[in-house]
Chain A
Amino acid sequence: METHDVLRLAQPPLKRFAPGALLGLASALCAVALLATAAYLITKAAEQPPILYLGMAMVGVRAFALGRAGFRYADRLASHDAAFRTLRDLRVGVFERLVPLAPDGLAGTRRGDLLSRLVGDVDELQNLPLRVVSPLVISGSVAVLSVVTVTLILPAAGLALALTLLMAFALGTWAQTRVAGRAERGLAPLRGAFTDRVIDLLASLDVLIAYGALEERLAGLDEADRRLTAAVTRQSVGVGVTSAVTLLLAGIASVLALVLGIPALGQGDLNGPALAVVVLVPLAVFEVVGMVPLALGAWRQVRSSAERVASAVPDARPAEIPADVPGIGTDRPAGVSLPGPAILELVNVSARWPNAAVDALENVSFTVSAGDRILIEGPSGSGKTTLAHVLVRFLEHSGEYRLGGVDVHSLAPDEVRRIVGLNEQTPYLFDDSIRQNLLFARDTATDADLEAVLQRVGLADWTRSRGGLDAPVGERGALVSGGQAQRLALARSLLADFPVLVLDEPTANVDPEFADSLIRDILDAAAGDFDSRAVIVISHTPVPADLISQRIRLKARVRREAGETGRPAGDARGSTGPGRP
């Protein structure tokens, strides 16, 4: 996606945007008119005209006072409502672009925290109409209208106001850009270094104490903090520059109006009330214009969010991601039939991740028959997860991959995934009840079906102790341990009744002491009464031999560069995902 596509999605259509912007403009104009009318009222009153003469001004002052607050309230409601409605379209728009690419075609979103950043970025984009476009439109219009009004009263003062406003725009923008730019460039690395050290300290506190390295680490943290704080305090000089400049220019505008207005008053070109208006209007206008630097600051954030969203969603589908071919296979209502004993065949299959220079999986061949229990083993980096993703068509492959004798390229990926299921290494649980986490696998299942499947995966007692099917699993399964998450995921896959089920490292996030019993339970349950189901277990830890009918060992590949594996060290970053007790 291009950045401007993202921004276009984020900006509400004119019909939705206009009411809020117009109400905001009305409120800002009321603010200026309030001060102008009040100044006119007082100076005119000093001439002691009949009171009726000032009736309009008195009504106007009160009306503008009410209008300023009332319009503002209506503006905020209208523009927030518009922003939320646009957020809905934006979220759907981005999501629909994510669907064909997910999960492996999304650049840099394989780690959970990056994915949540993407979502945060999408939501940040609702600030585009609220904090960027609307304030800019409003302050621009107020500035122009005020300049026109003052020019009508005293052309020279109008020109002076226009010039000071332009200077305020230019200087404010320049200062804001410079300060923010310097902060981003200079502070980000220091802040990153500091945060890394904090993570180190917290994740390894026991090790640091046991190794007597705590003092040294705390000293290092102090040093990183000192450097960061020194940089921040150096830059804090620039923080107030924009508002100081705006204030200064507002004052200059009033002084200029006086210098130009007083001679005009003497020559009779101007009367007293008009002078008061010309001198005081700048004060109110600059207050409105003070929104501009803030809007520009918000623009920088919105733009970088839009850029990140755009770069996370590639323009074109990478060659490594299978094309979604809707239509293919729809003439076969029940999907592929699986004739004969060999239901899944791989011949010389290789695959690589998008943007990778080398294959992560090379020349793998094997055949799976109904009822097989196949163990795929091999050291880390040998392509085990890559193989799992090839099997469910998340990744494109070279070589031959046939299901029931049919080349998978002639099937829609969705159709392949109706036959081959996958339990991921870290199963994703939705922030919902146990029931909802199971139902989406087969939405016709009754509570009795669900209880039966929970019994099979060994979670019946656990579910009861949690209060039944309506018990929540927590955000990202936070209320569920790694082993329970694996069992729930298995229950889900059993409900979906895949003829071939791939289990990717079922014990990776499970306490070592539970691993053996878990893998035994899982393989028993996966087989269950349906001996025809084939199960492929991927594991780098040993699996008891009696559970396995065939072993396939993947060879270690050339080590990928650090950080490229996408699979962080087992303990990294104190994740709150399932499996951390």
Chain B
Amino acid sequence: MKPLDKRLLKYAGAARAFLFTGALLGLALTILVVAFCFLLSQIVVRAIAGDSLDSLMPMLAGLAGVIVLRSIVTWLLDWTSARAGAVVKSQLRRRLLSAIAALGPGWLSRRNATGVATVAGTGLDSLDSYFSRYLPQLILTVIATPIIVLVILFSDLPSGISVLVTLPIIPVFMVLIGWATQTMQRRQWDSLQRLSTGFLDVVGGLATLKLFGRQHRQAARITSITEGYRRETMSVLRVSFLSGFALELAASLAVALVAVSVGIRLIDGSLGLSVGLFVLLLAPEAFLPLRGVGTQFHNAAEGVAASEHVFEILDEAERMPALAPPAAGSPGRDVPTGRLQPAGRLILHDVGVEYAGVPAVSGFTGSFAAGSLSVITGASGAGKSSLIAAMLGFVSHSGLIALDSVPVAAAGGSGTDWVAWTGQRPGLVSGTVLENITLGSGVVDRSLAIRALALASAAEIELDLPLGAAGSGLSGGQAQRIGIARAVYRSLARGCPVIILDEPTSALDSATESSVIDGLKELVRTGRIVILVSHRPGVIAAADARLTVNAPIGVGI
């Protein structure tokens, strides 16, 4: 693990600022620590020499002042680092979400969505301990340790040398031990993984185990899984705890070495007590930040790993060839909302879509007439969804997609103003049903939303019903019908002449399905082009036209 990733400084400006203030505070703290040790040793030595409390008062006051200042600076360092952690996280999250939006749904669909959500949501929280615990110690290691070692060297050369000799033991040991731990973990990775998730697997599958009457044997299985986990983990820990051991040993041995060597030279009178005590107090302070780095190493590694996932995505977004941004307000169909933009015919001619050179659709030709309900069918993998993605402008395509001879790519606004669409997943968001239905339409018209719901055979759903994230709180069928209503509303409110619905009735029973089709037919009668992708016999029977997509040659199913 690199202690500090350069990309952190590149992508999060707040991290740069923090390193600067952190360095200043670290310098102040170092000076205060040296002053504290100096004053404390001076007072003790003078008191032993016979000075009275009164004559030592000014120094005692100075010591008290240093103590107060030291707590304040320590607190300031903690505060600024916690603050920096929060700001950096926010900067990274915002960049990440914009990057994901720029990379688009096509990119996202090739990723594990839960993983991405975790990275953007709580994954970065491990940066908290990286900033609030690890980085300050790292800064102090860079600033305080050298200064304190120099002070010891100047005060008493032999003590300085014993500290200098012990210090490098720590990084060397840490590297060796970290390396050994990693090798060991790699060797045991699979079994460790399985053992660590084994209990979850048994609990998660409990219903299944009960169905097969196997629940009674599981206590023994959990025992053996956990025992195995203990044995494997302990053998890793025996090695990885050695790093802590090395840290503590080096720190305490340095103190012991300094104490003994100072003691011997005090006896023969070659050294004064004030220097000896000062050096003894300073010696552990040289090791303190290093120990902090060591104990926070695991927290930090987690934070670094989380930020690495973010950097990967950000780098990817940066490498992405800039897609021509949809020209806002470009000439075309920028008509007032509400009135249907009459369209005669949607034509697809020789349309092809490729992903990384592999054809997903090739040579699709077809046309959709105004006032008709068409259904697109085709075997799985034939490229129906890719065809729709091409119409919506999510993927680039060859051939021509034109509405009344105007290529749809030039058809204005966000590029999709001519079409109202809902995918296989309804894609609902948190908010009320009304907010979902009127999404992106600009106008919120309750009566129009009620009409859209009715057309989608969802009249029983209340407009003000609040939904959770991703539309949770609804059954699959309800969510699907709200998705349909949303497309219907958009078409009604903005006058979109084309409605495309991908498998709109897959979660509906046949009675509801036919009622949805009735609603869509009503829209067809207003002159709209309605295109459905479906396998359901009821839908195919009701359609005016059926188009079949065939898989490109060489694409297996």
Q: Give the complex CA separation of A87 and B218 in angstroms.
A: 15
- Find the A residue at minimum CB distance from B131: A236
The digit string for A37-62, where 1 denotes a CB below 8 A from any CB of B, is 11101111110110100100110011
Q: Which of B216-272 contact A (CB under 8 A)?
A: 216, 218-219, 222-223, 226-227, 229-230, 233-234, 237-238, 241-242, 244-245, 248-249, 252-253, 255-256, 258-260, 262-264, 266-269, 272
Q: Give the complex CA separation of A170 and B273 in angstroms.
A: 37
The digit string for A543-571, where 1 denotes a CB below 8 A from any CB of B, is 00000000000000001001101011111
Q: Give the complex CA separation of A570 and B507 in angstroms.
A: 8
Task: Tell me how far the C-beta of A528 lies from the nearest C-beta in chain B, rounded to whole angstroms.
Answer: 19
The digit string for B262-299, where 1 denotes a CB below 8 A from any CB of A, is 11101111001100110011001000000000000000
Q: Are A201 and B97 neighbours in the complex by a CB distance under 8 Å?
A: yes
Q: Are B222 and A91 neighbours in the complex by a CB distance under 8 Å?
A: yes
Q: Give the complex CA separation of A106 and B85 in angstroms.
A: 38
**B210 CB contacts on chain A under 8 angstroms:** 99, 102-103, 394, 414, 417
**A422 CB contacts on chain B under 8 angstroms:** 211
Tell me if B38 counts as interface (CB < 8 A to partner A). Answer: no
Q: Which of B437-474 contact A (CB under 8 A)?
A: 439-441, 460, 465-474
Name the interface size band of chain A: 35 or more
Q: Are B423 and A206 neighbours in the complex by a CB distance under 8 Å?
A: yes
Contacts A68-B252, A99-B206, A198-B97 known; A563 to B473 CB distance under 8 Å? yes
Q: Are A573 and B260 neighbours in the complex by a CB distance under 8 Å?
A: no
Kindly name the residue among A42, A44, A198 whose own CB sees the greatest number of chain B CB atoms within 10 A. A42
Q: Which of A214-238 contact B (CB under 8 A)?
A: 214, 216-218, 221-222, 225-226, 228-229, 232-233, 236-237
The digit string for A396-417, where 1 denotes a CB below 8 A from any CB of B, is 0000000000000000001001
Tell me if B428 counts as interface (CB < 8 A to partner A). Answer: yes
Task: Tell me how far the C-beta of B423 lies from the nearest C-beta in chain A, rounded to whole angstroms.
Answer: 6
- Find the B residue at minimum CB distance from A103: B207
Tell me if A447 counts as interface (CB < 8 A to partner B). Answer: no
**A96 CB contacts on chain B under 8 angstroms:** 219
**A72 CB contacts on chain B under 8 angstroms:** 244-245, 248
**B50 CB contacts on chain A under 8 angstroms:** 266
- Find the A residue at minimum CB distance from B490: A211
Task: Tell me how far the C-beta of B64 lies from the nearest C-beta in chain A, rounded to whole angstroms.
Answer: 6
Contacts A199-B117, A251-B67, A563-B472 known; A569 to B478 CB distance under 8 Å? yes
- Find the B residue at minimum CB distance from A232: B86
**A211 CB contacts on chain B under 8 angstroms:** 416, 439-441, 486, 490
- Find the B residue at minimum CB distance from A112: B204
Q: Give the complex CA separation of A199 and B208 in angstroms.
A: 29
Which of B1-9, B69-77, B523-531 is near enough to bind chain A? Answer: B69-77
Contacts A414-B213, A475-B197, A541-B508 known; A576 to B114 CB distance under 8 Å? yes
CB-contact partner of B114 in A98, A418, A574, under 8 A: A574
- Find the A residue at minimum CB distance from B194: A431
Tell me if B79 counts as interface (CB < 8 A to partner A). Answer: yes
Task: Tell me how far the C-beta of A204 lies from the nearest C-beta in chain B, rounded to whole angstroms.
Answer: 4
Contacts A233-B87, A262-B53 known; A573 to B234 CB distance under 8 Å? no
Q: Are B427 and A31 neighbours in the complex by a CB distance under 8 Å?
A: no
Q: Are B266 and A45 neighbours in the complex by a CB distance under 8 Å?
A: yes
Name the interface size band of chain B: 35 or more
Contacts A54-B267, A62-B260, A202-B120 known; A427 to B47 CB distance under 8 Å? no
Q: Give the complex CA separation of A576 and B255 in angstroms.
A: 54
Contacts A102-B207, A244-B72, A247-B70 known; A569 to B472 CB distance under 8 Å? yes
**A49 CB contacts on chain B under 8 angstroms:** 267
- Find the B residue at minimum CB distance from A237: B79
Tell me if B13 counts as interface (CB < 8 A to partner A). Answer: no
Q: Are B230 and A514 neighbours in the complex by a CB distance under 8 Å?
A: no
Q: Give the complex CA separation of A565 and B422 in angstroms.
A: 24
Q: Are A233 and B83 neighbours in the complex by a CB distance under 8 Å?
A: yes
Which of B104-112, B147-155, B338-346 is near enough to bind chain A? Answer: B104-112
Task: Tell me how far the C-beta of A533 lies from the nearest C-beta in chain B, rounded to whole angstroms.
Answer: 16
Q: Are B477 and A379 neighbours in the complex by a CB distance under 8 Å?
A: yes
CB-contact partner of A513 in B52, B53, B479, B535, under 8 A: B535
Q: Are A476 and B204 neighbours in the complex by a CB distance under 8 Å?
A: yes
Contacts A31-B252, A569-B426 known; A87 to B470 CB distance under 8 Å? no
Identify 4 new A-B residue pairs, CB closer than 8 A, beyond the known A45-B266, A46-B48, A512-B534. A48-B268, A115-B203, A209-B105, A221-B94
21 pairs of residues in contact across A and B, judged by CB atoms under 8 Å: A30-B252, A34-B255, A42-B259, A48-B267, A49-B267, A77-B237, A202-B108, A204-B427, A204-B470, A205-B105, A207-B423, A209-B101, A212-B413, A240-B76, A276-B48, A414-B213, A428-B208, A431-B201, A508-B476, A542-B509, A568-B472
Q: What are the 7 closest A-B residue pairs judged by CB atoms, nearest first?
A: A240-B78, A251-B67, A570-B476, A213-B440, A574-B113, A211-B440, A207-B427
